[in-house]
Structure 1
Amino acid sequence: MTSLDRELDLELARERDHHDACRAALTRMAADVAEQVVTGEDVAASGADAEALGYHLRSRAKEFGAQPPGPLFFGRLDREDGQTHHIGRRRIAEHPASPPLVVDWRAPVSRAYYQAGAHDPQGVLRRRRFGWAADSRGDSADLTGLEDEHLTAGEEVAGAIVAGEIERPRVGPMRDIAATIQPEQDDLVRSEPTVSLCVQGAPGTGKTAVGLHRAAYLLYTHPQRVRRSGLLVLGPNRTFLSYISEVLPALGETGIRQSTVDDEIARHEVRAVDAEAAALVKHDVRMAEVLRRALYARVATPEGELAVPDGSYRWRLSAEELAGIVTAVREEAPAYATGRDRIRARVVRALQLRAERRAGPMGAAWVRRMERARPVSAFVDACWPEVTPEEVLAEVLTAPDDPLLTPEERAAVRWAKPPRSPRSARWSAADLVLLDELAGLIERPEGYGHVVVDEAQDLSPMQCRAIARRADFGALTVLGDLAQGTTPWAARGWREQLTHLGRPRAEIVPLTTGYRVPAAVVELANRLLPELGTDVPAGRSLRTDGEVSIRRVADVGRGVAEAVRAALGREGSVGVIAPESLVGPLTEVVGREVGEAQEVGAVQEVASAASEPRVFAEGRLTVLAATAAKGLEYDHVVVAEPAAIVAAEPRGLHRLYVVLTRAVSRLDVVHGEPLPDCLTAHAS
């Protein structure tokens, strides 16, 4: 054994001892929190104070309980001032007032771990990265290696530990990237809470991880501000949400709402399906004005005077004075329900001024009696009637007549057979977006402190408006890739999309350097970019590994099964991505032919919303439709019939671009039909 080997063993032994001390301290912290919950229940305090204290203590206990097992630190900083900081996913200390044994990755002192370099050491003598055994549950013996960079000596290397962590096989849900955040990603993660950002990220650049880590950072640095209003993470579908579900708990954050736009606006069950022409019109931004006009068309100018009995006397307001009140409220453009309240309040105030000129001050009881007076209520109902979103939309869809829409568009959205009443209407998914718009016009919803929107390029203008209403007083983190836009209304440019989201001046930051998708896969996918009609920079990858195979076969099912069998013989997750029409047949073939040879059980359907494409999974293997692949990653991807994927929808080439870039190690393209022209030159 050389002296370098002995020194490495000694350093590893010291770090393992430190990890043991951290584990013991964390165990005590968890025990202390549990004890505080029990003690807090007996604290003598007012009801509100006791409830607040109990909630706080239970929340802390829940955070400790939700912390997944794993190593407690991944890095270390040795500074010029003699301080040493171990960097991990949460702060660990012997006592709240004691110096931390592990510093949270979000703390200001940790920033140098991600930003310091030989060109700018930022006071760091040495940056150390630790290598842990794959899937370690936090046993100190799993610490197997370390790498040091002596920054003041000019050392700055992207070592094997970082590369190994980035390229580690993808099995199970998405992992956090706290150990491998790159400087340009760190700049975005640590943006100020009032700043709205749009991240245009090529595949594999970590844009989703950046958005989730920014959410965790904001909750750490501005807990009161963000938690008071809540933090919302919006994904494209429930499969994607399941995939990212463990990232924030791993970073010590729980209680964050993760949802889809459809779930956020689900006032009713979806019981109808629109024709494509109708859906396009309903998702068009012009519908916002159509609905606003339809709603406020119910507001009427009073024609006669108002007389309100008060004992033996009647207080009167002229038609001109009443019209002035209605006009003034309309010009203020409040929410519709607020407008009703203002009409009532101002009518009562005008009556009060008349009464006080004649009889002196009127008390609160008199004001309440006037507010409830039948003539006042009748007047408010006549000039500013109470209404529900369902009533307004049913009226619009029964007889659409707004000139903002063409005759063809009005015909497309018109109900062929109107329901007897709004209560019996069968609403489509697009109708729910319109109902949410109307609900926001009638009574503005409570907003969130921050909203993270992933795959934002696929949102329609009306869906964007639904999100904007929920972020009136908070900032947005908008994530997406214009090249991956697959919906009929997908954005062609970010500035217009950000306008619909209510943040027209948000900064647009491109991420083009990929860390997960290897260069061979990126280069193949980049061949599609000139055909997509979007102005986005081509992606590039720092990974020079990766394998791409394109094979034409006589029997696609058998060819896919052979590719899956070979993939399962290697490490990592395997995803078979196919046109919707082939998912069932391929699942049957793969389950039959591969299952016996690989001891893989029957590939079972994963529970999902009825409106979402089917996904089948068993162990490391998943078979899914191309329409369900967005945002997901697999070590080995087998793509079946790319020409059929392209032909299945108007933006099929965009869908194929998404599908090809789901592979983070190896990609097999299996086809019987001729390939799209942009891929033929690459075929073997």
Structure 2
Amino acid sequence: MPGHQLAPDIPDKNPDSPPPAPIPGIDPDTVLREERAHLAASRDALKAMREHARSLSADAAGDWVSRQVLQGLLDQRVTALADHPDTPLFFGRLDRAGHDDLPLTIHVGRRHVHDDGSRPMVIDWRAPVSRAFYQARPSDPMGVRLRRRFGFHGGELTAYEDEPLDRSAPRHESRILTEEIERPRTGPMRDIVATIQPDQDEIVRADLSSTVCVQGAPGTGKTAVGLHRAAYLLFTHREKLSRGGVMIVGPNRAFLSYISSVLPALGEVRVEQATVAGILGDHAAPEDPSVAALKGDARMAAVLHRALWLHVSKPEEGLLVTRGINRFRVADHEVRETVASLRGTTRYGPGRAALAQRLAHAVLVRMEQRGESPDDRVQDAVARSKPVKQLLDTVWPRVTPEQVLFRLLSDAEFLARAARSDLTGEERDALVWAKPPRSWKSAKWSAADAALLDELADLIERTPTLGHLVVDEAQDLSAMQLRALGRRCRTGSATVLGDLAQGTTPWSARSWEEVLGHLGFAEGMVTELTLGFRVPREVLDFAARLLPSVAPALAAPRSLRPGPGSLTVRRITDLPAAVTEAVAQVTAREGSVGLIAADAAVPALAAALTAAGVAHEVLGPDSSAESRVSLIPATLAKGLEYDHVIVAEPADIVTAEDRGLARLYVVLTRAVTTLTVLHAAALPAQLAAQADV
């Protein structure tokens, strides 16, 4: 498989490096006044653009349906042009050398803004000319003389930095860039459009035809990169993707709520977001993890294929159709040949319909042989006739995915015929229900069953496809779940995001080549992000002690942020008291707070916080955290980030599940400012070498 690793051209941060020196001959106060005036004018222009869009009418459309469609598009345009006062319209500026017809000065922002004369005031960050803002460097200035970054507080422009892209100019660390990356966060995930790094930008701007798989260590921004790639593709291939659509698939609804504001902030309001359960069916019947892992195995695809087609039987009789006083017979051998020619060469549903038409055509041939002149209407009538329907119901019966799977899991003999040598006897015994439900209608399906039902549904009728699919935390999906997602973009492409070290399910992937193969994109490009921007180095190094145990093949991640003092590991005796004390300490600082514990410990900790008068919210699978302090079950922590994270009793998180060390690795890497680890029991051996601090 083709693949490569991107190497970012970013030095380790030096907090003592001086800020960029002012450019001689330029008065900073004058520059700020001019840029603030441009910001105010840009906001006025955006308001005018929105009012113009609001004034447009759908009445010009010819019919009611067209008017409704056009009105929907106009409403979306108005929504996309909304101005958010706390979000700056632009975050950068390029002063170009001027060797083409483009403007010499370009302000780069989240969306395009033009004045009443159609002159651009802000250029969309996704436009080709804006690429230089992310990629230009002294060794390759890309036609840019100077790059300017802006600092904002809320929506107010407060500072700027100039970076001459001259080989002779000394390189300085951008404090504005650093402060934006490190800015405390509350509420949903923010876009990273102002801080995209060159290696991230390469992934974001990958062509629509390319399927890209991103192995991203914690804090490398892989989720944000995937979301920004979706926004970039919608901008670049608007017409094509408006037909096929774009979907973001996340691990749970809490995660989707966390990322829900990113694309709207970039002006994209027509992107569907869903969980795997939301796509395949929200089935949640309890099931032994080993059985769920077996159902998720790729071998089940062949088993299901045979199980479906075993419902097609060999015809024993021919077909006799009576029309008026005439009788027309299709011999049994001809019926068998027709069934054999269709069996397994098409999907089950269309094959059944095709069999009816071919049998009807055979009858029409006999009618013509007798001098009649039947047309297509006669053929359709014959295909719907009682004798043809009876033969179809006997030879090629109509079935649903639930009927097929019910038979497979309740009939050991049928399962053995469908499995052949793909499953062992022990595996077949594990799959068959000990106490089958009375019928398929009363069956309670599990999450693993949902992927099997979806596979069968696609074998019966083709699944509609999307233009592009973004799949996050893909390492936790089974082969059958990956197949289900892959067929939803079989004519499009995908962005696959995840971290093999964070795999926490019994079927977690061991390689991205395996994941891409199950998705149907074996030729996809695999790239790796190992440079973290959010998680402090001290915290990341602590968590990385677990890597040799959970993902020994992966390179250890590194962080740009040294974060001295960001890690506290403390042994305690009274966990509830220590937790409430730690929460009180971090809430005195700016930023969001996440208290993460083993799922079973959450009720007791919630009671302790309530008793101490600490306002908090317990995060559930369907909730969106609105409180500043969130209490998070460890199984829901994946993909979330908090400024201050308190981890309660790591040993309980490890022992709660088979891949507990991987779960703990996830939990320890949720912090972007400070991490406090509280433990009464001994730390896992992999972490014990870190002395309590």
What TM-score range do you get, normalising by the shorter chain?
Answer: over 0.9
Of 86, 94, 97, 2:115 maps to 94
Tell me the residue number matched to 2:329.
316
Tell me the residue number matched to 1:612.
none
Q: Distance in 2 between matches of 1:608 and 1:161?
A: 36
Of 253, 258, 261, 1:238 maps to 253
Correspondence list, 1:365-380, <5 A:
365-380=377-392
**1:565 maps onto 2:584 in alignment:** yes
SS in 2 for 1:75: strand
Tell me the residue number matched to 1:438.
456
Deviations for 1:186-230, whole angstroms, at most 9, x for unmatched residues?
111111111101000111111001100000011111011112111
Tell me the residue number matched to 1:582.
601
**1:287 maps onto 2:300 in alignment:** yes
Tell me the residue number matched to 2:471.
453
Deviations for 1:331-358, whole angstroms, at most 9, x for unmatched residues?
42x2110111111122222222333343
Task: Report the CA distance between 1:476 and its aligned residue.
Answer: 0.8
Tell me the residue number matched to 1:9.
29
**1:210 maps onto 2:220 in alignment:** no
Work out whether residues 151 and 158 of structure 2, in 8 Å CA contact, stay in contact via their aligned partners in 1: yes
* 2:610 counterpart letter in structure 1: G
Task: Report the CA distance between 1:498 and its aligned residue.
Answer: 1.2
TM-score by length of 2: 0.92
Work out whether residues 592 and 642 of structure 2, in 8 Å CA contact, stay in contact via their aligned partners in 1: yes
**1:398 maps onto 2:410 in alignment:** yes
Task: Report the CA distance between 1:608 and its aligned residue.
Answer: 3.6
Stretches of structure 1 lacking an aligned partner (at least 5 in a row): 610-614
Task: Report the CA distance between 1:299 and its aligned residue.
Answer: 0.3
Q: Distance in 1 between matches of 2:106 and 2:259?
A: 29
Work out whether residues 573 and 634 of structure 1, in 8 Å CA contact, stay in contact via their aligned partners in 2: yes
Task: Report the CA distance between 1:374 and its aligned residue.
Answer: 1.3
Correspondence list, 1:231-380, <5 A:
231-266=246-281, 270=283, 272-332=285-345, 334-359=346-371, 361-380=373-392
* 1:640 counterpart letter in structure 2: A
Work out whether residues 466 and 489 of structure 2, in 8 Å CA contact, stay in contact via their aligned partners in 1: yes
Of 651, 669, 682, 2:677 maps to 669
* 1:249 counterpart letter in structure 2: P
Task: Report the CA distance between 1:270 and its aligned residue.
Answer: 3.3
* 1:85 counterpart letter in structure 2: I
Tell me the residue number matched to 2:9.
none
Work out whether residues 189 and 217 of structure 1, in 8 Å CA contact, stay in contact via their aligned partners in 2: yes
The 3 A distance-change label for structure 1 pair 306 and 6 is closer
Tell me the residue number matched to 1:656.
664
Return the structure number with greater relative CO, CA threshold 8 A, min gap 6.
2
Tell me the residue number matched to 1:149.
163
Work out whether residues 77 and 124 of structure 1, in 8 Å CA contact, stay in contact via their aligned partners in 2: yes
**1:128 maps onto 2:128 in alignment:** no
* 1:149 counterpart letter in structure 2: E
Of 410, 425, 435, 2:443 maps to 425
SS in 2 for 1:86: strand
Q: Distance in 1 between matches of 2:201 and 2:377?
A: 60
Task: Report the CA distance between 1:406 and its aligned residue.
Answer: 2.7
Task: Report the CA distance between 1:630 and its aligned residue.
Answer: 0.3
Deviations for 1:280-319, whole angstroms, at most 9, x for unmatched residues?
2222222222222111101012122212123222222222
* 1:45 counterpart letter in structure 2: G
The 3 A distance-change label for structure 1 pair 607 and 682 is closer
Q: Distance in 2 between matches of 1:3 and 1:508?
A: 42
Q: Distance in 2 between matches of 1:290 and 1:161?
A: 57
* 1:206 counterpart letter in structure 2: G
Q: Distance in 1 between matches of 2:485 and 2:267?
A: 26
* 2:130 counterpart letter in structure 1: S
The 3 A distance-change label for structure 1 pair 271 and 180 is closer
Tell me the residue number matched to 2:528.
510
Work out whether residues 23 and 162 of structure 2, in 8 Å CA contact, stay in contact via their aligned partners in 1: no
Q: Distance in 2 between matches of 1:68 and 1:219?
A: 24
Work out whether residues 68 and 250 of structure 1, in 8 Å CA contact, stay in contact via their aligned partners in 2: no
* 1:260 counterpart letter in structure 2: T
Q: Distance in 1 between matches of 2:479 and 2:600?
A: 30
Q: Which moved more, 1:547-556 or 1:351-360?
A: 351-360
Work out whether residues 504 and 663 of structure 2, in 8 Å CA contact, stay in contact via their aligned partners in 1: yes
SS in 2 for 1:359: coil
SS in 2 for 1:284: coil
SS in 1 for 2:676: strand
Q: Distance in 2 between matches of 1:118 and 1:305?
A: 81
Q: Distance in 1 between matches of 2:341 and 2:480?
A: 29
Stretches of structure 2 lacking an aligned partner (at least 5 in a row): 1-21
Task: Report the CA distance between 1:379 and its aligned residue.
Answer: 1.6
Percentage of matched positions with identical amino acids: 49
Q: Distance in 2 between matches of 1:233 and 1:337?
A: 29
* 2:180 counterpart letter in structure 1: E
Tell me the residue number matched to 1:493.
511
Work out whether residues 30 and 64 of structure 1, in 8 Å CA contact, stay in contact via their aligned partners in 2: yes
Task: Report the CA distance between 1:392 and its aligned residue.
Answer: 0.9
Q: Which moved more, 1:381-390 or 1:422-431?
A: 422-431
The 3 A distance-change label for structure 1 pair 618 and 180 is closer
Q: Distance in 1 between matches of 2:568 and 2:115?
A: 54
TM-score by length of 1: 0.93
Q: Distance in 2 between matches of 1:517 and 1:216?
A: 25
Q: Distance in 1 between matches of 2:484 and 2:552?
A: 25
Work out whether residues 200 and 480 of structure 1, in 8 Å CA contact, stay in contact via their aligned partners in 2: yes
Task: Report the CA distance between 1:16 and its aligned residue.
Answer: 0.3
Q: Distance in 1 between matches of 2:188 and 2:624?
A: 15
Q: Distance in 1 between matches of 2:650 and 2:51?
A: 55
**1:626 maps onto 2:634 in alignment:** yes
* 1:568 counterpart letter in structure 2: T
Q: Distance in 1 between matches of 2:636 and 2:266?
A: 27
SS in 1 for 2:674: strand
Q: Distance in 2 between matches of 1:184 and 1:618?
A: 33
